[in-house]
Amino acid sequence: MVLERHPTNQIPKYSTSDLTDLQERFFLLQRESSKQKIAHIFLLEGFASTGKGSILQSLTIRLDPRKFKVYSPYVHQSEDRGYPFLWNFWRVVPRYGEFLFYLNTYYSRLAFLRSDKKISLSEYDHRLLSILNTERILSKDKIIVHKFFLHISKKDQKKRLQDSKKKKKEWELSAFDKDQGEHYNRYFEIFDSILSSSRTIDSPWQIITSDKKEDTKLLVFESILERLERILQFDSRTALQSINHGTELIP
């Protein structure tokens, strides 16, 4: 099983004091992507109460707002009436050179439908194949899909859900989040199956432990920067050093 084999003690290379530099480097990679006319879709997926919203805020705070979008569809309704499974997502695709962040993805939707037994196994397989075909087509057409799954233990998820109730922040929790909290083991198996079936060369999963919120944020940045630098053949660390030394001006 993918999740069982995943290490729970991931240690980031960076510290919280590096966060500002990481955000600047991400901006420089956004700028380079715009120059190269390569678009990127970032899927922030994972268990409930793993801090996806906070991570998204940290990722986007320094970016050029004209060149990125955030899309968070209502994933836990059964179907889009009269439209194909991926219709909600087909409507929002980045232009070349832009970033798009999905908070709540088609994988969450698929997991919910399977957990609630709203689709048969054959329908589940068909939807998963549609997802993989879509990601492959996009990747071949200079729209790269980056997939991040935030993992958390049953114990830590339960504690965070209880903390939300104690702090009267239940409004933060969707019905999908609450359903995960009530059926953690079931969702563990479903997510594990999805991760195993949807890992591809073009769009591999990056599984990140989220038991420590600040470490999770740093690990996500670390993974994104390494992947973008490899794809773009661009050294964001050196570029930032040049800016800090005054050899290049930053917008």
Q: For the segment 118-140, what is each residue's pLDDT rounded down to a tens digit?
A: 889 999 999 999 999 999 999 99
Q: Assign 78 a pLDDT band (cuts: 50, 70, 90).
A: very low
Q: For the segment 5-27, what is each residue's pLDDT rounded down to a tens digit?
A: 777 678 899 999 999 999 999 99
Token digits of residue 213: 């919120």
100-125 in b/e burial notation, b at 16+ Cβ within 10 A? bbbbbbbbbbbbbbbbeeebeeeebe
pLDDT over 70 percentage in the chain: 92
Q: What is the pLDDT of residue 175?
A: 76
pLDDT at residue 107 greater than cutoff 90: yes
Q: Assign 41 a pLDDT band (cuts: 50, 70, 90).
A: very high
Q: Assign 221 a pLDDT band (cuts: 50, 70, 90).
A: very high
Q: What is the pLDDT of residue 12?
A: 93
Q: What is the pLDDT of residue 168?
A: 67
Q: Which of 62-71, 140-149, 179-188 has the lowest mean pLDDT?
A: 179-188
**Dihedral through CA 203, CA 206, CA 207, CA 210, nearest 10?**
-130
Token digits of residue 29: 């990679």
Q: Nearest-CA neighbor of 55 among 217, 237, 186?
A: 217
- Sheet (strand 143-151) strand order: 68-71, 99-103, 39-46, 143-151, 205-209
Token digits of residue 110: 């698929």
Q: Which SS3 state, helix, strand or coil, does residue 52 take?
A: helix
Q: Assign 192 a pLDDT band (cuts: 50, 70, 90).
A: very high
Residue 26 is given by DSSP the state H
pLDDT at residue 170 greater than cutoff 70: no
Rounded Cα distance, 181 and 79, in Å: 22
pLDDT over 90 percentage in the chain: 65
Q: Which SS3 state, helix, strand or coil, does residue 77 take?
A: coil
Residue whose structure tokens are 């995960």: 180
Token digits of residue 175: 């019905």
193-222 in b/e burial notation, b at 16+ Cβ within 10 A? bbbeebeeeebebbbbbbbbeebbbbbbbb
Q: For the segment 201-219, what is each residue's pLDDT rounded down to a tens digit?
A: 989 999 999 888 899 999 9
Rounded Cα distance, 193 and 181, in Å: 19
More confident residue, 63 or 109: 63
Across residues 64-90, what is the average pLDDT?
Answer: 79
Q: Assign 116 a pLDDT band (cuts: 50, 70, 90).
A: confident
CB 67 within 8 A of CB 34: yes
Q: What is the pLDDT of residue 171?
A: 67
Determine whether domain 2-244 maps to CATH 3.40.50.300. yes
Burial class (CB in 10 A: 0-12, 13-18, 19+), 183: middle
Q: What is the pLDDT of residue 32?
A: 98
pLDDT at residue 87 greater than cutoff 90: no
Q: What is the pLDDT of residue 85?
A: 86
